[in-house]
Amino acid sequence: SGKFYQHATTEASQATLASVSPVFAVMKFDKEGNTTYFEKKKTELYQELGLQARDLRFQHLMSIATRNNRIIVRMEFLKAVITPEFLLILDYRNLNLEHWLINELASQLAGEGQLVTYSLPFEFRAIEAILQYRISKLQGRLNTLQPQILETLEALVDPKLLSVDRSKLHILLQNGKSLSELETDLKVFKETILEILDEEEVIEELCLSKWTDPQVFEESTSGIDHAEEMELLLENYYRQAEDLANEARELRVLIDDSESIIFINLDSHRNVMMRLNLQLTMGTFSLSLFGLIGVAFGMNLESSLEEDPRIFWLVTGIMFLGSGLIWRRLLSFLGRHLEPPLPPHVPAVLKKTQPAAGRVEIKNNLKAETFGLSRSTLTNQ
């Protein structure tokens, strides 16, 4: 009775797991490009493929692995299983993914596209089509970001602008965030390909038909090295990803340089306003200083000077003349301390005292001393 109860419990638990196991919407492509659609539970699918449950546990991180003569590809929204006879795309219900699957992938696998590996076994075509799709998506994101970033930077780095448009800064912030995400995706793509290129055994395992089809194995031993072809294929897409990463890096450097230029322009305008404010302050100080004479004469004190009509014009002239002189002195003081110093003047004593031959000899001696000094400095460094 105990064994019967344990057996019944096991069957009940398996039935419960089967009822709650996820169902994959699968699109199947064969060597001729024929397409079939079906739905299958996860447990049934990995049992048919000879895989384990964890092999079909897909994450958003990119990975390319082999197990039991199957290639498992995880690439953001793309989940694929490659065999020597067919390609399975799991959970394909995505608008962009469906467009690529229906309009491009089938024709590429059938040889109607521009795949370089058409003459090689089926898994080469499948891997190239998937990598080509991933690179084209990354290239499209870069092509969308590049003109937007350049246009925004051109509007921000205008020296005529006294202030920065906050809407443009918000757009630049969003584009910079998208550029960072693109750089991260490119880095993950390159690291995944590089991990495979560093392991010769993994490259050998990716050549599925070499171990299942005896004819393919004979061809490989007679001169066609499929492992080398797979390595060249992966290196090609690694170089493409590297080129995209360099373009994205140039955009990042351009954003940083433009940010420095923006700060320099703002500092320049701020310095102009501060200098104007300082000049006005000095003018007010000069006028107030000699305005004390007018204040003294405006007091209710009697003297003999107010009886002469020329005193008013004399005092007024002295006030304005003194204020102007003080203001000019202050401006010259400000100019001496704020203007950049001139480069030191090279004395021309040698030209006046030495003849032409002597000047040539002195120049040669100076060049030799300078050259020797630079060589000794480099040696010390």
Here the CATH number for the domain that contains residue 209 is 1.20.58.340
Residue 353 lies in a domain: no
What six digits make up the tokens of 94?
Answer: 């995505």
| Residue 139 neighbours by CB distance under 10 Å | 15
Segments forming the whole domain that contains residue 160: 23-265
Residue 175 lies in a domain: yes
pLDDT at 282: 77
The 8-class DSSP code of residue 29 comes to E
pLDDT at 19: 47
pLDDT at 258: 79
pLDDT at 367: 42
Strand 71-75 with 78-82, pairing: antiparallel
- Cβ-in-10-Å burial (0-12, 13-18, 19+) of 43 comes to middle
Residue 54 lies in a domain: yes
pLDDT in tens, 106-163: 888 877 666 777 778 888 888 999 999 999 999 999 999 999 988 888 887 765 655 5
Contact between residue 282 and residue 331 where contact means Cβ atoms under 8 Å apart:
yes
List C-alpha distances in Å: 315 to 76, 287, 311, 345. Answer: 86, 13, 6, 47
What six digits make up the tokens of 188?
Answer: 């993950």
pLDDT in tens, 231-272: 999 999 999 999 999 999 999 998 888 777 777 777 777 777
Q: What is the mean pLDDT of residues 274-298?
A: 75
pLDDT in tens, 26-51: 888 888 888 888 888 888 888 888 88
Instruction: Say whether pLDDT at 15 is over 70.
Output: no
Residue 219 lies in a domain: yes
Residue 270 lies in a domain: no
- Cβ-in-10-Å burial (0-12, 13-18, 19+) of 161 comes to middle
Of 52-61, 233-242, 326-335, 357-366, least confident by mean pLDDT is 357-366
How many structural domains compose the chain? 1
Residue 343 lies in a domain: no
Q: How far apart are CA 94 and CA 368, in angstroms?
A: 73
pLDDT at 277: 82
In DSSP terms, 75 is beta-bridged to 78
Instruction: Say whether pLDDT at 370 is over 80.
Output: no
Would you list the DSSP string of 218-258? HHHHTT--HHHHHHHHHHHHHHHHHHHHHHHHHHHHHHHHH
Most confident by average pLDDT, 120-124, 323-327, 377-381: 120-124
- 9 confidence band (pLDDT: 50, 70, 90): very low
pLDDT in tens, 168-196: 778 888 888 999 999 999 999 999 999 99
- 205 confidence band (pLDDT: 50, 70, 90): confident
Residue 284 lies in a domain: no
What six digits make up the tokens of 120?
Answer: 């090689």
